[in-house]
Amino acid sequence: GTSMEDTLHNNESLLVDKLSYHFTDPERYDIIVFYPHGKKSDEYYVKRIIGLPGETVQINDSGIYINGSLINDNYGKAPITYPGIAKEPITLSEDEYFVLGDNRQSSFDSRYSNIGPVSRGNIAGEVRFRILPVNRFGPVN
């Protein structure tokens, strides 16, 4: 879909590292693949980690605040116009992450109550490399 434009585009083939997160924790701005409805579902999403476990996330005036401080987020394609559930502060538990698509106008992500924060157990891996199309071959960041 379009939710990760301009970083990723629909129908690109990606290499996902499913091993590293067994040894290290996901970090802010990692692009992850996760199961929004649990691993028993075949549906998966690709989004960018914004909030880390134990942090408080809030979206105000198109800015993203972590623990009350505005972060310098250069990944968004356009300003956030819909804060969703993050209009009010959300404190993440010790195994939750807050994720957003880079195309903030067209992303179904943690701002929506039926997705919400993503538990560590539902993260499949980190997107590391773009394989296709050949003209965009290379690492993803």
3 is annotated as an active-site residue? yes
Residue 108 has what DSSP assignment?
-
Beta-carbon contacts of 100 under 8 Å, excluding residues fewer than 6 positions away, are 47, 48, 50, 64, 76, 107, 109, 110, 111
Question: What token pair was written down for 39?
Answer: 């691993």
| Active-site option among 47, 69, 93, 119 | 47
Collapsing DSSP to helix, strand or coil, 122 comes out as helix
- Phi/psi for 93 (5° steps) reads -75, 180
Indicate which residues carry an active-site annotation: 3, 47
